[in-house]
Structure 1
Amino acid sequence: MHPLLCGLAANPALPSELVDRLISLADEDIALDLTRRTDLSRAQAVALAERVGESAVRLAYEGKLSAADIDPAVRPDAALALLDQGAGSPDWARLLASDPGPERREKLAACPGLPSDVVDTLAADPEVGVVAELALWTTPEVAARLAAHPHAEVRRAVAANEATPPAVLAALVTGAGLPAALRCLVCDREETSFVHESQCARIGCDLPPGASCDGAHESTVHDMRQAALRNPATPVEVVVGFADHPSMLLRWALATRQDLPPQVSARLASDPAPGIRAELAENPALDDALIRALADDHDPDVRRTIAHHPRIPLDVLTSLARTAGTGATLVPRIAACSPAEAEELAISPNPAARMLVAQRRDLPPALRNRLAGDPDAKVVKALAPHPGLTEAQLRSMVDRHGVHVLAKVATNPDAPPALLEHLVRHEPAVRKVFREVARHRRATAPALLVCLTDGRARPIAAGHPALPAAVVVELLDDPDEQVAEAAAANPSLPPAVMTDLVCRR
């Protein structure tokens, strides 16, 4: 019964009076579905929060509860949700700053626009996690103050805060002008010198593998530098020296920066770690020479990554599409190509080039129609979901290329009902077709009935509104709970059956 009630809670056609009834029956699972309803009234949201307190947080985040609906002494987590959105009362923040639970104080520390007295209270909190959370999100002035905090974990958080002043970030990287940190999470718990085993068997131990402290808090200092290197506010002249650092993680962090001098980027492009080269390949600030160099990298992940660079030359991209593969997603350079470039790609003798442009969904009709008749199945497969294709064109694709294009044809938003029925009966069958047709807005009852014969498509088809009401009712007794729940959520479920399901509880 429980999956059916969860399905009903998500059913968009559920009458308001039955929503009220479900609220009175709700547990956490039912409440989760109810909170997602777009038609939930304020009175219903308040009633649901009273019935299932845990739902108040989601309701607050979704704007279904306001400050007038929440007592922070009764619903502190919901009050935190509103404070997190800048919608709570300053007095709530003062109350929660002294909450006995450090988890709530930590969540409060991440909220924007806190009163200055609350910030001062949190900055002096005895729990280092609370102070570190404040350091991660606070203003430049407070971040500068916390950079000198005696605990290294707080300094690590300051290094990650993009509001931290550049001079302070530089000091955290170099250590110049700051007093030495006195504690870290490692020496808080262990006698120095200590190195945490990678396969620690101690119950409840949450120190990360390799965490270490010999009195200088080296693992936390390393993490602090890594955070600062990734922080775009850290002055570039402070970080460029890390291009040859023995720590792979620090070089990796450096590769994310968009302000590197060309010689530093070139050094990272030849780094022995392929992950660093792949990270660099994502950097939008790369020049043409480095893009071409990374396109020739021996590592396939690096080549695939550089193929998605927004400024990759088309000749390099088409070569990569042929040799390394670019995946089924539209790459940025193709999305941005001019009409002339799109035309050039569409008439290229290279199928990989034609496939790239076929992934666009805004092609002019003439170009789209040209590619629809392409002799290469991969090109047609890439084009098949393009809107505007006629039934005749889609059927021709299926006739010429069969199983290679069936699933993509089924995703075409303009695929007519008769074609969808044809696709699910195609021999040999393609299992993915059933799932695509089951979620297609134009799928008909005959097509959906076929989809119900496939185990993975069955839960999807059970929720389709075109499924006959009698079949939907039958599926309520399906042994697969996912199918039964989907059927209960189907808007075609007769209202009398909805009433019966609710009142049976």
Structure 2
Amino acid sequence: MNHVLCGLAANTALPHELVDRLISVAEADIAEGLAGRADLSREQAVALVSRFADIAVPLAYEGLLSAADVDPVVRPQAALALLDEEAGAPEWARLFAADPKVERREKLAACPGLPPDVREMLAADPDVRVVAQFALWTTADMAARLARHPHAEVRRAVAANEATPSDVLAMLVTGDGLLPAERCLVCDREETPFVHDPECPRLDCDLRPGAACAGSHESTSLEMAALALQNPATPTEAVVRFADHPSMLLRCRLAARPDLPPEVGARLAGDPVPGVRADLAGNPGIEDALIRVLATDHGHDVQRRLAHNPRVPLDVLSRLAGTVKIGPALLPRIAAASPTEVEELSSSSNPALRMLLAERRDLPAMIRDALAADPDVKVVKSIAPHPGLSEAQLRGMVERHGLRVVSKVATNPDASPALLEDMTRHVPPARKALREIARHSNATGPALLACLADTKARPIAAGHTALPPPVIVELLADDDWQVVEAAAANPSLPPAVMWELVP
């Protein structure tokens, strides 16, 4: 692998003429980099595809190839990609609907906007995998038809399709008005009763782990119910029956539904499995009374999920912040706090709550400045990246808290070039900060040279445009291939050197 040419392929400053030359000599890894260029022209894309067929698919999805550029017989995958983007020719759809390769018909089945005759062909395809894929993405009318398909795998796909009508989803869940499925993937291939070994040693086996059938297609039916529970179009009244179901998976899916009736939520709050209660705690549709019940639940992950619930009251969140390990994350409830609530949070006696507030990046200047001067280092680490802080404030954080805040200060978009240089000389060395300095837009040549001394920061610094050009050229011979590629991709690499490097 030529890492220099791989880097050049991604260099945004590479002249158009050199892109053409690189296309003519590229190997597969270089071609991938060229395919990702934002400035690649249609002519260059066509030239690239003429040498590397596999590149056609991503280029088709990027809109760099049209139907006129693709022969569906020679480049079937690219043609299918264009059909997926509704940019292919209708006759292609008919061609692939009759293709002997199942994989191509399966890919076609997921494409939107297919002609009516093609849709009928896919709905009647002899391979159930094609029909199931079609059922997963098809329109409401066709989904309603396929819900009565005799194969359980097709019904499973219909249950996951959000275009499926609500009454059809209810029918799939309850079974009312629906004849039992005749087959599933398990009994298609194995003598029942059969349970698929999750560690199946057969290389040609594609049954899902744990797939089982004893005559009633048990695993597929369970999966169908789980997918229907996850489908927002499934009516609430059809799924509440699963509150006491022996399957933990189904109870978890039910607990996460935002339309959960309060009385069902109350039953699930007493579920013996902490995972069910944790999913309930994260449900944005549960009411205040249930939230307060779950706030006292010490089951695994329940309180942490509750803290991330956008409807958690601030007084409950205040208690949770002092006991639950939430970490430096912007919680939805904090992000939605009103100006009055922001003021209250900023003056809270609980430093964990002030830390959570400090994760916001839109705080009023007065509150931002108060948090920047907070005596608690966790609060300062959270506020350090906030835009608008002065150099004096950022330096003050480093002086007060030292190594514990340097890497966070280095992420501040307003950190000055002088401050970044000073932080590279921090004693003891702030190695984690060097990685942030290496990617900072204000980093200077001297700061970047210091970053090159750190193994993890070195590849990042090698790609920074402020690195002196002679140093970039030297890094083209570095022992680390990541450094080489980053240097070759650096837009500040002298153009004369680029011309020398491309064969």
User: TM-score band (shorter)?
Assistant: over 0.9
Q: Could you tell me how far apart the structure 1 residues matched to 2:33 and 2:431 are?
A: 30
Matched, 1:430 2:406: no
Distance 2:319 2:449 in 1: 44
Distance 1:74-1:199 versus aligned 2 partners, 3 A rule: closer
Match of 2:124 in 1: 124
One-letter amino acid of the structure 2 residue matched with residue 360 of structure 1: R
Per mean C-alpha deviation after superposition, the further-off stretch among 480-489 and 92-101 is 92-101
CA contact (8 A) 2:421 2:444 kept: yes
Q: Return the alpha-carbon distance in structure 2 between the equivalents of residues 278 and 80 of structure 1.
A: 42
Residues 239 and 254, structure 1, Cα contact 8 Å, conserved in 2: yes
Paired residues of 2:49 and 2:56 also in contact (CA < 8 A) = yes
Q: State the partner residue of 2:496.
A: 496
1:238 aligns with 2:235: no
CA distance in 2, matches of 1:213, 1:325: 43
Aligned to 2:393: 393
1:375 is paired with a residue whose SS is coil
Match status 1:114 vs 2:114: yes
Partner Cα separation in structure 2 for residue 329 and residue 35 of structure 1: 36
Equivalent residue, structure 1, for 2:407: 407
SS of residue paired to 1:186:
helix
| Residue aligning to 1:338 | 338
Task: Write out aligned runs for 1:335-484 (5 A).
Answer: 335-484=335-484
CA deviation vs aligned residue, 1:462-495 (integer Å, no higher than 9, x gap): 1111111111111111111111111110111111
Partner of 1:257: 257
More off after superposition, 156-165 vs 71-80: 71-80
Stretches of 4+ aligned residues off by more than 4 angstroms: none
| Residue 150 of structure 1: how far off its partner (Å) | 1.7
The alpha-carbon deviation at position 161 of structure 1 amounts to: 0.8
Q: CA deviation at 1:164?
A: 1.2
Per-residue CA deviations over 1:96-148 (Å, capped at 9, x if unaligned) read 21222211211111111111100111111122111100000111111111112
Query: SS of the counterpart of 1:405?
Result: helix
In the aligned structure 2, how far is the partner of 1:107 from the partner of 1:247? 33
Q: Give the C-alpha shift of residue 405 in structure 1.
A: 0.7
Runs of 5+ in structure 2 lacking a partner? none
Which whole-Å deviations, capped at 9, do the CAs of 1:301-354 have from their partners, x for residues lacking one?
Answer: 221111111111111112212210322221111111111111111122221221
Instruction: Give the corresponding residue for 2:286.
Output: 286
Q: CA separation in 1, counterparts of 2:402 and 2:471?
A: 31
**How many Å separate the matches in 2 of 1:84 and 1:360?**
39
CA contact (8 A) 1:321 1:353 kept: yes
Q: Structure 2 CA distance, aligned partners of 1:483 and 1:119?
A: 51
What's 1:314 paired with? 314
C-alpha contact 1:463 1:487 (8 A) present in aligned 2: yes
Asked whether the 8 Å contact 1:300–1:324 carries over to 2, the reply is: no
Please, which runs of 5 or more residues in structure 1 have no aligned partner?
none
Secondary structure at the counterpart of residue 188 of structure 1? helix
Structure 1 stretch displaced more, 9-18 or 83-92 = 83-92
Query: CA-to-partner distance for each residue in 1:242-278, whole Å, 9 max, x for gaps?
Result: 1000011111121221211101111222222222222
Work out the CA distance in 2 between the residues paired with 1:277 and 1:80: 44
Report the Cα offset of residue 400 of structure 1. 0.2
Preserved contact between residue 7 and residue 485 of structure 1 (Cα < 8 Å): yes
The one-character-per-residue Cα deviations of 1:369-405 (angstroms, maximum 9, x if unpaired) are: 1111111111111000000111110000000011111
Percent same amino acid at aligned positions?
A: 69
User: Residues of 1 paired with 2:218 and 2:421: CA distance?
Assistant: 64
Amino acid at match of 1:259: D
Q: Which moved more, 1:113-122 or 1:168-177?
A: 168-177
Distance 1:123 1:485, change over 3 A: same
Partner of 1:98: 98
Aligned-partner Cα distance in 2 for 1:237–1:327? 38
Contact 2:437–2:443 under 8 Å retained in 1: yes
State how far apart, in whole Å, the 2-side matches of 1:198 and 1:89 are: 42
Aligned-partner Cα distance in 2 for 1:278–1:61:
39
For the Cα contact (< 8 Å) 2:346–2:357, is it kept in 1?
Answer: yes
Contact 1:28 1:54 in 2 (8 A): no
| Cα distance change of structure 1 residues 67 and 282 upon mapping to structure 2, 3 Å threshold | farther
1:304 — aligned with what? 304
Q: Is the 8 A contact 1:243 1:264 kept in 2?
A: yes
* 2:206 aligned with 1:206: yes
1:23 corresponds to which residue? 23
Q: How is 1:154-233 mapped onto 2 (pairs within 5 angstroms)? A: 154-233=154-233
In structure 2, C-alpha distance between the alignment counterparts of 1:115 and 1:224, rounded to whole Å: 28
Alpha-carbon distance between aligned partners in 2 of 1:199 and 1:109, rounded to the nearest angstrom: 30
Residue identity matched to 2:330: L
2:193 and 2:215 in contact (8 A); partners too = yes
CA apart distance, 1:294: 2.1
Tell me if 1:72 matches 2:69.
no
- Which one is further off, 158-167 or 384-393? 158-167
1:137-172 per-residue CA deviation (whole Å, 9 max, x = no partner) reads: 111111111112121111100111111122221221
Moved more, 432-441 or 83-92: 83-92
Q: What is the alpha-carbon root mean square deviation over aligned residues?
A: 1.4
Q: Structure 1 residues 54 and 199, CA, compared in 2 at 3 Å: closer, same or farther?
A: closer
Deviations 1:65-92 (A, max 9, x none): 2233222222221222222122222222
**Whole-Å separation in 1 of the counterparts to 2:258 and 2:353:** 29
Amino acid of the structure 2 residue aligned with 1:405: V
Give the Cα–Cα distance (whole angstroms) in 2 for the partners of residues 296 and 24 of structure 1: 66
Bigger Cα displacement from structure 2, 216-225 vs 293-302: 293-302
Could you tell me how far 1:238 is from its partner in structure 2? Answer: 1.5
Match of 1:62 in 2: 62
1:26–1:52 CA contact under 8 A, matched in 2? no
Q: Secondary structure at the match of 1:291?
A: helix
Q: In 2, are the aligned partners of 1:448 and 1:461 still within 8 Å (CA)?
A: yes
Offset of residue 300 of structure 1? 4.8
Q: Which residue of 1 aligns with 2:277?
A: 277
1:41 equivalenced with 2:37 (yes/no) = no
For residue 278 of structure 1, what is the amino acid of its counterpart?
A
CA distance in 1 between partners of 2:147 and 2:460 (Å): 53
For residues 271 and 136 of structure 2, the distance between their equivalents in structure 1, rounded to whole angstroms, comes to: 31
Contact 2:132 2:153 in 1 (8 A): yes
